[in-house]
């Protein structure tokens, strides 16, 4: 079981192909490493829909985790992730 030491302060979203990627990595209490967690949202004009995504990868620094979150979000949006999709956002 993993316990979380702290969550990265919410950062501004990164616009990408009509979506917004918002990295929210958390620091693991047992190892001090950072996990990969992010939100992808889409503004349809009258409502904003959002979905949380995560992966089991961990990173030694917050900055490294944020960069991997952004790259993972772009892969999801581009349809290059087998198990994750934003097609219904």
In the chain (89 residues long), the average pLDDT of successive 10-residue segments reads 46 92 95 96 93 96 97 98 94
CATH number reported for the structural domain that contains residue 26 in this entry:
3.30.160.350
The domain tally of the chain equals 1
Q: How far apart are CA 11 and CA 29, in angstroms?
A: 21
- Residue ranges making up the domain that contains 35: 4-77
Query: Residue 68 domain-assigned?
Result: yes
pLDDT at 35: 96
pLDDT at 6: 47
| pTM of this structure | 0.85
pLDDT at 12: 80
pLDDT at 10: 52
């Amino acid at each position: 079981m993993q316990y979380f030491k702290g969550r990265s302060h919410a950062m501004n979203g990164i616009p990408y192909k009509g979506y917004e990627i918002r990295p929210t990595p958390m620091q693991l209490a047992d190892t001090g490493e950072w996990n990969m967690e992010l939100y992808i949202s889409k503004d349809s004009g009258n409502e904003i829909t959002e979905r949380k995504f995560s992966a089991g990868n961990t990173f030694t620094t917050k900055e490294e985790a944020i960069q991997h979150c952004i790259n993972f979000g772009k892969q999801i949006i581009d349809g290059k992730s087998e198990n994750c999709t934003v097609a219904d956002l």
